[in-house]
Amino acid sequence: MNKVFCNKETNMVEQIINIDIDTRFEENWFSNCYVVDDINNEINAYNLRYNKEMKKFESVEGVPDFEEAIFEESEKDLKIKSLKEELEIPQDAL
**Does the pLDDT at position 51 exceed 90?**
yes
**Does the pLDDT at position 93 exceed 90?**
no
**Does the pLDDT at position 58 exceed 70?**
yes
Q: What share of the chain is helix, strand, coil (3-state, %, to 5)?
A: 15, 30, 55
DSSP 68: P
How many structural domains is the chain composed of?
1
Range of the domain at 26: 2-93
Sign of the Cα torsion 13, 16, 20, 25 reads negative
Between residues 87 and 29, the one the model is more confident about: 87
pLDDT at 19: 84
Alpha carbon distance 1, 19 (integer Å): 6
Average pLDDT over residues 65-86: 74
What's the whole-model pTM score? 0.63
Angle (nearest 5°) at CA 62 between 61 and 63: 95
**Does the pLDDT at position 52 exceed 90?**
yes
Residues written for the chain: 94
Q: From residue 89, give the alpha-carbon distance in Å to each of 13, 84, 92.
A: 48, 10, 9
Average pLDDT over residues 2-16: 92
